[in-house]
Every structure is written in structure tokens, then in C-alpha cells.
Structure 1
Amino acid sequence: MSLLPVEDALRAILAHVPEIVAEEVPLSSAEGRVLAQPLLARHDQPPFDASAMDGYAMRAADVAEGARLRIVGMSQAGAAFAGSIAPGEAVRIFTGAPVPAGADTVIMQEQAVREGDFVRFTAPARLGHSIRPRGNDFTNGQSLIDIGTRLTPMRIAVAAAANAATLAVSRRPRIGLLATGDELVLPGTPLGQDQIVASNSFGLGAMLAPYAEAMTDHGIVEDQANALRDRLEHAFAAAPDILITTGGASVGEHDLVQDALKDMGVTLDFWRINMRPGKPLMFGTRGKTLVFGLPGNPVSAMVTALVFIKPTLRAWLGLDEPEHWRLPLAADTPPNAARRHFMRASLVHLPEGPHLLPIAQTDSGHTSSLAGADMLIVQPENDPGQRAGTLVEALPIDAF
């Protein structure tokens, strides 16, 4: 069976991503969510001409060397001066307070000398200075945040300023995880002679949780057909939007996952990808559930999740897929064979700027090298190898 190109595999997966479903959440729960409807301002901000300084509001034309203006009142945030300023008058004003009618400038208090009920100034007035005009930040009806934008603290702050108590965000998928393998034990377990510690579900859970409404770990199941089917039945009964298995994705006699999934009504689209690490990837559907069968080797599992599952989740939420980085190499890369290589690399800062330092380790079970990587260099099929300084394409490992 021929290997499927990475782009074709990703295109096939994304064709199964459902339409975005919006849900309302309070601002206190919106951090990290993705906006499903544009945020429109509900008022002008500021809603009045406001002082940008503590000082005095007056008519600029009244300020001259030696001139004194009568102080007729005070304007502070939440307690505006009720009247209007006449010629020869000034109002004590504080930052954020409404500028009184008739005033057209503010002079900060450091340039003012108060003498009883009068004030004179040590600097000339500049028309309109230190006044934030009504609507200077945004105006009623203005679109402030577009659909498909991830809500950061600064964006939540502007939503609050726009008087939005709730936001319409994309519903996140429910994700299930299931690890397979007779040899696997949980972290913290004393190791037997033929056992290894399971890491896939923990790494994948941490990677994918920011995109998920719920992340359910269905544990480890041994390589036994009936036990596998029972655990899969339990996993599907939880009605996940996405189910991810790890292990048993290749063609060995103990790799039972493909047959079990088919027996349970999963329609498999493909299961061999032209990439390394991570060739034995399965993808299919069961009703509305997307099913990924990832390799058991931990580096392969994490890399295939980065290349295929994270773009799926971004599409699910309505996020645009970010462009891959292009950075110069800090060292040569070796020649590549017929499969696209997602090469581990660290980001190093040289005097001439950031560079990618290739990591020589390619073993798909070598987790410490992946933990030390910041990026994956996307090395094309049959690439002859590139010299240091060459610009290459790279995929950030920890980007949202």
C-alpha cells in the first residue's frame, strides 16, 4: 500500500470537521476561548470628553502670562461638574473625569499655581491638550474583535470596556484518550522486567486540553481483542467528539486496534502516512466522532498529534491555521529519504538573530530529545540536506 502525502491526509481529516457551534460564556470564563461572533461596541469609549491628567480645565483662549482664572468647581470621575465654564473661569479636574462644557483644554497640575480661589499657569495652553475625545478608544457599533480570534486577557479587557457581560465562543470538542499495550504501566508504578511507563496519554492530554471542553483518559488496555473492544465500547459510550487511541496502529500480529475499530463501526479513511516519525497513523469516523489511531512510540504519537490533531482542533474552533516559521539553520541538516521528516530542533539566539539548531536524534521513542526541542523542521521528501544559514520551514511545538 502506498503512503499518503501529509497534505492529502490533513485535507481528508479537515473535511470531517463540523460547522462551528456558538455558546455564550461569561467574561470570567472566556480566557483562551475562540470568538464565534464579532464583538461590537455598545457605546462610545470614553462616553464623554475626558481629562487625561489631574489639573485644571479651561478655555485655552483665557490662558495668558500673568492671567488668573477663577476656580468655579471640580470634576472628578463619577462626579462631573454640573455647569459650564464661562470666560475667565477654570474647573479643578482629575484623570478620567468629564471635561466641563465650555472647556477646550486641560493643563496638568504641575504647571498650575493655585492662589485661593484663583489659578494661574506656568505653561501656555495648547488647544485640546490632555483631553480624550468622546469615542477616542472606540465608537458605538464598532467591531472590536473578529470571529476566530482567541481571547487573551487584553481582549477580554476590551470586551468588558465595551460593556459585554458575555461572549459568544466556539463550543470545544469532548476528547477521549485510550492507550494500548501489554507492556504499559502508569507513572509511579514499580517496573517489571518487560514493562515501560506509559507517557502518551499524559503528553497528549496536556497538549490538547486547552482546545477541549472535556478530556477523558480511558486508561491503558492490554493487547487482547475482547478487552480492547470492551474498553472501546466504554469510550464510545461517553459520546466523545474525538477519540484518540495510541499504540496498535501498525500491522504486527499484536496490533489489534484497526480490526477492533472496524468491528465497532468505525469507517477508516487511511492508516499509512508518508512522514517520519509517525507513519502508522489511522483516521476514521463513527457517526459524529472523529477517531485517530496514533502510533505507540511516544515521539511519533506527539508529532502526529502536532501535525494532524492540533490543526483539526483549530479548525473545529474556527482558528486560522498559522503559517509555519521560516528561520535560518544554525548547522547543516543531513540528507532525507522519501518520507517527509519532522526533525527536532532547538531555537537558538545568535548575534545575527534566531536560528534553528537541528537535533541529530531521530529515534521515535527518544522522548528527552523531543522535550529539548522548540521546533520541528519540516524537511521535504528526498531533501539533499541543507547548509547552515539556509532558510527552512519549521513548526513551533508549543504554539496554540
Structure 2
Amino acid sequence: MIAFDEAVAAVEALARPLGAETMRLERADGRVLAAPVVARRASPATAVSAMDGYAVREADLASGRARLRLAGESFAGAGFGGELAPGTCVRIFTGAPAPRGAERVVVQEEASREGEFVVLEPLPGSGRHLRAAASDFAPGEVLVPAGAVLDPQKLIAAAAADLASVEVVRRPKVVIVSTGDELREPGVRGAGPDSIPESVSFGIAALARRYGGEVVARRRLSDDLPSLTRAAACALEACDVVVTTGGASVGERDFSKAMFEPLGLELAFSKVAIKPGKPVWLGRACDRLVVGLPGNPTAALLTARLFLAPLLAGLSGRAAGSALEWETARLATPLEACGARETFYRGRSAGAGEVEVLADQDSSAQKALASADLLIRRRPGEGALEIGELVPVLAL
């Protein structure tokens, strides 16, 4: 049995980004770049107007007020084709290409029309209102570095770079295997009192997706070792990470490790000195990762949050530690002394940076779990704490 920090270090050592895949921009939100976004073109490709107005030559404004013949119009996507001759101007709109020879845009509020002529009276200090070619970025410039998580802002930059797709880190495929003769699917009519609705896999699947995993299967299996071993072999072929729930203790039908042993299971750790969730384990079989979670719902979700979340974050290209960003909150309720094992209490945000410790801390409690949104970390042997004292918390 190892300490919590040792177990986290073992997770981070295995949480290396997977290979890359090409993803179209419309599907790339939230993905991690495996290669930088490099501009294929300049932006803007040519000088463009920053305002609605009239494109002119500087020499024609030498005396301030000018009366220039209107030579044409320039629209975004349909520019003026010729060169701006002396004594002329071109009506231009925001984003439209500036005619060759144009050196300034006089905004329309500083102009008036007189038939085929335009009278311009630019105010002193008026800006040029032109965006130079490549003033935003040039061809070959890196707009978004590798390792960045694509969000709306970065997707705009990628599209502006003239890319239809990007190289992203492949998401880890996850299979969730729930074991236990007593389990059944929720909502089954006429189920006997000896069965219980399997609930854990739904929360684990949601957590896996939140931290970068792609859940490809969710299976419920009975406690038959030969069947479990066959299912384990199939799961390992279909994914990068197998997550088992249940069967992680030392009972006669606790087969979560045994089902992988014929497949060459190598353990990174088999127990962690935490409460709840001591039986959690991590290993590798057939070059795939396997995470064994307890069967009790609270213990399973808590250990998934502490170990599966950073594992999937790292495999999907993020920093594994980004999934374990502890903050500090003040206790809104007192907290008992911690025992010999590092303990993680379920808590609920009480506002204004405070956390309330939930009364029901049983590892099988599901009603209390539904109202929890924080984990409170206590070191082994720490004494009791009063209201107002600071504790480390992690968003659940």
C-alpha cells in the first residue's frame, strides 16, 4: 500500500499523450493541439479599410479640404480593380481592399457628395484607417502553439490561418466494466430485492468524458472469472484504458485483478492509503492501462476523480496535474480529526469561499453524493478543525 502522493506520481508517469489525429475544425473544440496552428496566408492578404469612407492619396489632401472625382467603389470581397489616379477617390467599406495607390481612408462623416464629386474635410489628426497587409499575421507565423486546448478564440485563429482541419492529440478510448452478480440496469421492472441498479458506471463515464476520454463501451458482468477474463481481453483490444468497478477488495468473488492476470497484468500500485477507496489500483495489461475502482459509489467516484481524471487528462494531451488543482476554502462546519489514512471528505460549497462538510460520509452513500461538489483533503493524524479554519479543496 502506498501513500496518496506516491500514487498520483505513478499516475502521472503513465499519463503520456497518445498519438495524433486529424480533426476538422467544427469537431475540434476542447481538443489539444498535437501540432501548432501555422498560418497558410497573411491576414489581411492586402491592405484593407478599417472604416466606411473614401480611399484617397495623401497628396490630394495636402491643403486639407479636397474635392475629388469619385472613381468607383470597393467592397469586401469585390475590390476596386484599378489604381487610384491623382484627383480621384474610391468609395470604400470596412474590410474592403484598398485600391492601389491609396494611402488613407477619410471616414464618411468627414465627406459630402456633390454629384460625381466628393468633398472631403478631414479633421486634424484623423487616422489613416488602413490595415496594412499582414498586419495581423504573416504566412508561416505560429498562431496557436502545440499543446494548447482549442477553444472558441483559438478556433477562430485556426480558421483565419486558412486551415480546414488541425492535428490534435487522440482521445483515450475508455471501456468501463462493472462487476457484480447483484447488479442490473436501472429501470428494470420486476427486479428482485437481491439486485440493485448499477449506478457507478454512469458517473464514471461522465467523468471520463469531462477529462478527455472517449467512452466506447460500458459493460456489466457477473462474478464468473472465466467470463470476466474473456471480457477483459475484448476490452483491452477495444480501448486505451479499461476501468473496472467492483471486485477490488479481497472477497471470494473479487476478481477485478484476477481477470487481467492471464493477460500479463503488471501493477503500478495495488492499494492506496486513503479513505475511502483504499482498494483502488492501477496497472497495465497488453500494453493498455487498467484502473480498478471500488464498487461502493462514493468510493468509486472519489477515486476516479483523484486518479482516473489526471490519467485521462495526461493521455489526451493536457498536463495530468491540471486535473488536481487544489484550492483553499474556509470551513463552514467543524471537521473531526483525521485517522491513520489520508482522508477525503465530501463537501458542498457554502459560498464566499466556504465549504460545508456533508454529514453522511459513508462510502456507499448516493443521496449525499448528489449534493457534493468539493473534496476536502485531510492529512493522516491531523487534529480536529473548527469553523473558519482553512482546508484544501478540489472541485468534484
TM-score normalised by structure 1 residue count: 0.88
- In the TM superposition, residue 40 of structure 1 has moved relative to its aligned partner by 1.2
Which residue number in structure 1 is paired with residue 47 of structure 2? 49
Which residue number in structure 2 is paired with residue 15 of structure 1? 13
- Amino acid across the alignment from 1:167: V
- Distance, in Å, in 1 between the alignment partners of 2:86 and 2:127 is 16
- In the TM superposition, residue 328 of structure 1 has moved relative to its aligned partner by 2.9
Which residue number in structure 1 is paired with residue 2 of structure 2? 4
Which piece of structure 1 moves more, 28-37 or 124-133? 124-133
With over 3 angstroms needed to count, the CA separation of the structure-2 counterparts of 1:367 and 1:68, relative to structure 1, is farther
Contact persistence 2:375–2:395 (CA under 8 A): yes
- Amino acid across the alignment from 1:33: R
Residues 343-400 of structure 1, C-alpha deviations (whole Å, 9 max, x = no match): 32333443xxx44343333122222333323332333333334455555433223xxx
- In the TM superposition, residue 255 of structure 1 has moved relative to its aligned partner by 1.8
Query: How large is the Cα RMSD of the aligned pairs?
Result: 2.6
- In the TM superposition, residue 108 of structure 1 has moved relative to its aligned partner by 3.0
Which residue number in structure 2 is paired with residue 222 of structure 1? 222
Which piece of structure 1 moves more, 75-84 or 57-66? 57-66
Which piece of structure 1 moves more, 245-254 or 100-109? 100-109
Which piece of structure 1 moves more, 269-278 or 321-330? 321-330
- In the TM superposition, residue 333 of structure 1 has moved relative to its aligned partner by 4.5
Which residue number in structure 2 is paired with residue 75 of structure 1? 74
- Amino acid across the alignment from 1:106: V
Contact persistence 1:104–1:127 (CA under 8 A): no
Residues 163-206 of structure 1, C-alpha deviations (whole Å, 9 max, x = no match): 11221111222211110112211111134212221111111112
Q: Which runs of 5+ in 1 are unaligned?
A: none
Contact persistence 2:266–2:283 (CA under 8 A): yes
- Whether 1:154 aligns to 2:153 is yes
With over 3 angstroms needed to count, the CA separation of the structure-2 counterparts of 1:103 and 1:362, relative to structure 1, is same
- In the TM superposition, residue 78 of structure 1 has moved relative to its aligned partner by 1.7
- In the TM superposition, residue 19 of structure 1 has moved relative to its aligned partner by 5.4
Contact persistence 2:213–2:316 (CA under 8 A): no
When the two structures are aligned, how many residues end up with a matched partner? Answer: 390
| Structure with the larger RCO, 1 or 2 (CA within 8 Å, 6+ apart) | 2
Contact persistence 1:205–1:215 (CA under 8 A): no
- In the TM superposition, residue 243 of structure 1 has moved relative to its aligned partner by 0.9
- Distance, in Å, in 2 between the alignment partners of 1:67 and 1:184 is 86
- Distance, in Å, in 2 between the alignment partners of 1:325 and 1:258 is 31
Question: What are the residue-to-residue correspondences of 1:1-400 with 2, within 5 Å?
Answer: 3-18=1-16, 20-59=18-57, 62=61, 67-121=66-120, 124=123, 126=125, 128-190=127-189, 191-209=191-209, 211-217=212-218, 219-236=219-236, 238-320=237-319, 321-322=321-322, 324-329=325-330, 331-334=332-335, 335-350=337-352, 354-397=353-396
- Distance, in Å, in 2 between the alignment partners of 1:378 and 1:143 is 41
Contact persistence 2:17–2:169 (CA under 8 A): no
- Amino acid across the alignment from 2:231: R
- In the TM superposition, residue 254 of structure 1 has moved relative to its aligned partner by 2.9
- Distance, in Å, in 2 between the alignment partners of 1:372 and 1:60 is 68
Aligned residues: percent identity? 38
- In the TM superposition, residue 39 of structure 1 has moved relative to its aligned partner by 1.2
Which piece of structure 1 moves more, 301-310 or 359-368? 359-368
TM-score normalised by structure 2 residue count: 0.88
Contact persistence 2:332–2:350 (CA under 8 A): no
Contact persistence 1:75–1:92 (CA under 8 A): yes
Which piece of structure 1 moves more, 208-217 or 195-204? 208-217
- In the TM superposition, residue 250 of structure 1 has moved relative to its aligned partner by 1.1
Q: Which runs of 5+ in 2 are unaligned?
A: none
Contact persistence 1:63–1:121 (CA under 8 A): no
Which piece of structure 1 moves more, 250-259 or 173-182? 250-259
Which piece of structure 1 moves more, 291-300 or 220-229? 220-229
Equivalent residue of 1:260, what SS? coil
Contact persistence 1:171–1:213 (CA under 8 A): no
